[in-house]
Structure formats: C-alpha cells, structure tokens
Chains A and B, each alone.
Chain A
Amino acid sequence: MGVRLLVLTVLSVALMVVDARFTLLKPVRSQMSLVLMESYWITDLPQRLWQGVASQFGSRTELVAENEKLKTENLLLQGRMQKLAALTEQNVRLRELLNSSALVNEKVEVAELIGMDPNPFTHRIIINKGERDGVVLGQPVLDARGLMGQVVELMPYTSRVLLLTDTTHSIPVQVNRNGLRAIASGTGNPERLELRHVADTADIKEGDLLVSSGLGQRFPAGYPVATVKEVIHDSGQPFAIVRAVPTAALNRSRYLLLVFSDNRTPEERANDAAVAQEAEDRQNGESTATPVAPATAPGTTPAPAPAATTPAPTPATAPAATPATQAPATQPARPAAKPPVSTPAAAPATRGARE
C-alpha cells in the first residue's frame, strides 16, 4: 500500500511539473475536458430549464412591457449609433492627417456563461465557446458595459476566462479624462480593482472612467474597465491608494462578447499599412501623377520644410511641395484606409452593443 502511494505521489508530482513547464499534456487535458466539461453544462441545466419554462409562461403584459423597453432602448442606441458613424469617419480622417495607422475594427462574437470556477479564491468563469470556435489564448472578453477579462485556458468547445478582479490579474488602463496611465490589479473582491503605484500628486479623482490603454498588447484600447470609487491620500504611504469599481457586471453577466482583434503587433500593422499605402501610391502615380512629377521635382528641393510646416506663405510653392513630401500621407491614405471607412456598419454595431 505504501509503495502504491509512493508511486502515485511521484506520478502526480511529475505530472504537475510537466503540466506547469511544458505543453506536452495540453492535448490530453483537452481530450479529457471534452467529456468532463459537460458536467458544467449539466449543472447549469436546471437554470436553463427554469428560464425556458419562465419564458414559456411569461405573462402577456410582461412581454409587452419588455418589448416596449427594448424598443426604446433600441431607439436610443440607434440614435447614438448615427452619431458614432460620423465620429468614426471623423476619427479616420484625423488619423489620416496624423499619418497614423488606422483604427482597427474589432469583430465580436457572443458567448454564454456556463459555469463558475468552484474555487472561491479565484475569479474564473467557463464560457461555451472554445478552440473549435476560433477562440485564442489571451483573447479579451467583454460584457455589455465593459471589459471582463481574458481567456486563460482553451478546451475544444469551452474555455476558461480569468476575470479582471482575480488577484493574479492586472490590466494597463488610462484615465479617460486626461490619459493618465496606470495599472489596475485585481483584489479578489468582485467589486474592486486597485490602481498600483499612482503618484500622490497624480490628477485622478473620484468618478473618473478608466479605459483600457492597449499598452499590454493584450486588450484592445479604449474599452471601459472601471470607474474610480475613492482616492485616498495617506501621507504615510509612498503612493496614493486608488480604488475602482469594474464597469462590467463581473458576477452577474450571462452573455459575454469575445473580441477578435487584429493579432498583429503594432509594428507589423504599421508595416502592412505602409506597404498598402506604397502600392496605392504607385497606382495613383502611374495613372494621374505623370504631368505633376516634373513640376514637383524642382519645387521641393529648395524649401520642403517651410512648406510642410506653414502651408500658406506662398501659394506657388505650397501645392508644388506638398505632393512630394506629403503625398504618401494625404492622398493615397484615403484609399489605404478604406476598409475602416467602408465598414462603419460593423464598428457601430459592436460599439453600440456595449452601451
């Protein structure tokens, strides 16, 4: 009996080490989870049944009231979306002017919560979308009001999501009002995040909205994360104590959104944009710019810098200089940035859904 215990203990320890250090056991785990994860589904079944029954026997007045409510909400969201389309357009134009890479439009997909992690000291949930649905490790998860967390474990048809408030989780954020950067760490309390290492003099106050800054290159930028609840200045402490409440309903949301963002690095993205721009440029140059080329060549060499910085001093040099220096920036940028312009329907749909 003692020998058996010894063998099994050694085996367990070996398994743990291998599982922690290498990816050797991932397929085994995913095969086992194929069967075992059904138990989350089964334990969730009574609630599903109850919901089904409740929706079957929902009274007419209730349904009418709900319909009314949804209609007004829809109207509000539609209104907001109209404005958003204009704003998106404007944003793209401004970005073109700044010659920065275009805003990436994220695709989202709806997932449903099917289980909570039974360990009360971790904040993890199980959702009903997995590797076969195209979910990837580290993928951000939202609900209607803000960021919830990221995917930490993939199984064939389910995945495990680590919530923002887990003690092992941190997310780079930005104060929406002034762009102050900070890192929001989970505390183990589902209603609280803490901002670490915020200077005592930093401009942050109660009610500030914290949005994801995208600096960790894991979460997309600009999604609401939390609102600051209290800022405590303690002269005995080196840093201010900043507590925030997550905007997402971390322990109440049942339907979540999985964000499929561009998984290229910013460098690659900029590279791709540059290549696309160059191609566009060449096309435009071949078709239209043949008469312009001889005119710009002498114009740019004497004074390209003043023409670029102050566009109005002499009307003669300005049009001659700008095509040469700014040409890749202004004119071809429009066709290069076409994808985001042509899909405003997708962007407001995703944005509208979270408001």
Chain B
Amino acid sequence: MSSTHSGNGWMVWLTFAIGLLLSVSPLPQFMEILRPLWLALLLAFWALALPHKVGMVTAWCLGLAEDVLYGTLLGQNALILTLITFLVLSLQQRLRMFPMWQQCLVILVIFGLAQLVQLWLSALTGNRQPTLALVLPALVSALLWPWVSFGLRGLRLRFKIN
C-alpha cells in the first residue's frame, strides 16, 4: 500500500474543500446554533489517519481560510484548529486504540475546550457570545464523529489514500 507514492492526496484536499463549503452552507435559524465543526472533524480524522501528511500547518492554513470566510480576525480560527490538531496528534496513539464511544468522548472534550478558547478570543475582539450555547456544536460534532470517521475510512480504503 505504501509502495505507491502518488497516494491520492488530492482526495484529502477535496474533503477539506467540501468541509469549507459545509461550514458556510445555509441552515435553518434554529440549526445555526448546532452547526457542527466540519473542518475540525475532518482535520481530526485525517490527523489520526495520515499524521505524516495532515498536521498543524495544514490546520493553520485551513483556519486562515475559515477566518476569511467568517470575517473574523485573521488567525482566530487558525489558532483554534491548530490547537485541536495538536491535541488530537498528542492523543493519537491512544485514540486509535479506543472504541468508538470513547473516541466520541475524547472528541467532545477536545472540541469543547477549543470552543471555550473561541469564546475567550471573541470576547477579546469585542463580540461576546451571550451564552454557553457554543458548546453545543462540540456536542453535535462528537455525535457525528462515528459517521464521519466511518465514511472517511471507507473513502480512504476505496481510493487507497495514504
């Protein structure tokens, strides 16, 4: 498998592009608050699966793209995504061994921490979000994790991405 060095790396970038689209896709009003952290989910999966290819620099670049899309200060989401990738990478050996429900829990904690940092950063930049409802996306993301990782694993096996 690892003998072919082409490795279909573009598929990874395609998923990131789709993640960017999903992160700005219009949702009904009541679901806006539950929007999953698509980019963070994708980054977590690829960082676990291909740690030699997707790392913190990738996360940082994607974060910058997200900043431009959201109109936040350049570097804000970059910092968050870098942090998430760092935590996932440092827990990588254990996370790979965990059963799915434990992975979900770890993802919940990591994303929750990241959302808290997000809260602090947006408070510093002047638009404080009024509630702790911003932990909800972390919860939704954690619930989506099994499906995302299952789907992406299928994709990876199918296209032999490595």
CA distance A13 to B79 in the complex (A): 8
Verify if A32 is at the interface (C-beta below 8 Å from B). yes
Collect the chain B residues with CB atoms within 8 Å of residue A115's CB: 24, 26
B130/A20 in contact, CB under 8 A: no
Closest CB in chain B relative to A25 CB, distance in Å: 6
CA distance A47 to B126 in the complex (A): 34
A36 contact from B60, B69, B82, B126, Cβ within 8 A: B69
What are the residues of chain A within 8 A of B83 when measuring CB–CB? 5, 9
- Given known contacts A39-B21, A168-B126, A12 and B71 CB-to-CB distance under 8 angstroms: no
Partner of B20, one of A14, A28, A39: A39
Tell me whether A32 and B75 are in contact (CB under 8 A).
no
B88-142 interface with A by 8 A CB criterion: 89-90, 121, 125-127, 129-130, 134
**Number of A residues with CB within 8 Å of any CB on chain B:** 43
Q: Decide yes or no: A8 and B57 within 8 Å by CB, A19-B73, A29-B68 being known contacts.
A: yes
- Shortest B56–chain A CB gap in Å is 5
Is chain A's binding surface mostly helix, strand, loop or mixed?
A: helix
Q: How far is the CB of A159 from chain B (nearest CB, A)?
A: 10
Q: Which of B73-88 contact A (CB under 8 A)?
A: 73-76, 78-79, 82-83, 86
- Interface residues in A155-211 by Cβ distance below 8 A to B read 160, 167-168, 188
Chain B window 51-66, contacts with chain A (Cβ cutoff 8 Å), 1 for yes, 0 for no: 0000111001001110
- Chain A positions within 8 Å of B159 at CB level: none
**Most chain A beta carbons < 10 A, residue from B57, B86, B126:** B86
Take A13-B79, A15-B75 as given contacts and tell me if A117 and B70 are in contact as well, using a CB distance cutoff of 8 Å.
yes
Verify if A43 is at the interface (C-beta below 8 Å from B).
yes
| 9 sampled A-B residue pairs with Cβ under 8 A | A4-B57, A8-B60, A9-B83, A14-B75, A15-B78, A20-B73, A118-B23, A118-B35, A153-B71
Q: Which A residues have a C-beta under 8 Å from some C-beta of B? A: 1, 4-5, 8-9, 11-16, 18-20, 25, 28-29, 32-33, 36-37, 39-40, 42-44, 47, 115-122, 124, 152-153, 160, 167-168, 188, 251
- For the A-B complex with A118-B69, A121-B130 known, give 4 more contacts whose Cβ atoms are closer than 8 Å: A5-B86, A18-B74, A28-B74, A43-B24
